[in-house]
Amino acid sequence: MKNTTNIPAVGWNFDNSYTRLPEKFFTKTNPEPAKTPELIIFNEELAETLGFDAKQLQSEDGVKILAGTEIPEGAEPIAQAYAGHQFGNFTMLGDGRAVLLGEQVAPNGQRFDIQLKGSGRTAYSRGGDGRAALGPMLREYIISEAMHGLGIPTSRSLAVVSTGIPVVRETFLPGAVLTRIASSHLRFGTFQYAAQWGQPEELKSLADYAIDRHYPEVRDTDNPYLELLRNVIARHASLVSKWQLAGFIHGVMNTDNMTISGETIDYGPCAFLDTYETGRVFSSIDQYGRYAYNNQPKITGWNLARFAETLLPLIDEDQAQAIEAAQDLLGDFGNQFQQNWSAGMRAKLGLFGKEEEDESLIDELLKLMHDHKADYTNTFRALTFDKPEETPLAGKAGFAEWHAAWTLRREEQTESPEESHELMRNSNPAIIPRNHRVEEAIEAAVDDQDFSLTRKLVEAVRNPYAYSDGQLAYTEAPPEDEERNFKTYCGT
């Protein structure tokens, strides 16, 4: 056991409920020490939300904790066990390069997992080194903070610390540890693991724990496990609709990367659309487009079905009755997603209420964008300020007719043009973390140890609805050939 560091001013306030589950669900594991830890980027706003003294946590002793070299008082480091369908194939998994220090209870009473990602080998590393390269950790920091700014439920990043230990991928790369913050790391795959290898009472204890932690309102219902499923379905119908509306592609929607809380997690080969292309895939490992942009709602439904299967013994002792009840809920996922997405699209177009012509207005615009390879974010950005001449569709066949129909629909609603504009401004981000900008920042950090581009980019994407002059440089789309050939990698 490494030294336990107690710096009272930092504000550690652990209450580690997960370790009170059966030991089947985790293995006690200490992070491996960093050689020469150096703080690269730190999230002061998040630190203060969690109840930490941001200055103290950035001190030499604080950075040692963020690097995994020292253990704070009250922590109970573990690696979590889970399974999952990876590109459709079921396998045993677990935290192969992450250690959960414990659960920080913030001043407002909320509970957050504090996890060190890239902190060394665990019992679930399966031959891997358990380390992470600096580039992918900076990518997760940038994207997760952008998602938070966009209002999309997400894990967040507290810090990235370089370790001084190189990692070997295709070449030698600088190593780093990301401190990830999540409302929990309970995954669909955690339940798959319990259903496959656990005893019935262990599965029940996990479900009860998930209810108590995330959905306490269902505890006293007639069938809390069915209500757990209902709530998880609703959370993900909302979550994936927000992904689609923002043009976000997760890239690796395996069941172990889907959370019970409904937060986005595990930012590996993720990216945002530049050109609106419904079948777009960025991930180098998604060779058949299983997790393409337009497949994300369908895959979410598939993943939810796998989660539902694990709950069947708890929903009803009669398996046929349990299946019927679960199928009734799963069958409504598509409708919930569509309602959420349609409402979001109407908001992006400044439309209040719901009229018959709205569906065709939305479909026709998206078809125009797809046919003419229009930039997704900048199209809505220009429409927000009613500057059709600045859209990538200006002068294209069919756009003038569409714009006239959209204008008429807005004029007929009782809300004022100012209210419509405000709705659009709050629904259409001025900027997203453009892939070429993210890569530019990462390359500067890895190749030249220049972290200024990363910090500037993070500041810009944290408030994507500001429409400030300082964000203008980040609105530019990449050259067409660069966008077309762009690929992302998982970093393992």
Tell me the catalytic residues. 256
Q: What is the dihedral of CA 287, 293, 298, 302, to 10 degrees?
A: 50
As given in the structure block, the two tokens for residue 379 are 């199209």
Instruction: Report the alpha-carbon distance of residue 178 to residue 162 in Å, rounded.
Output: 9
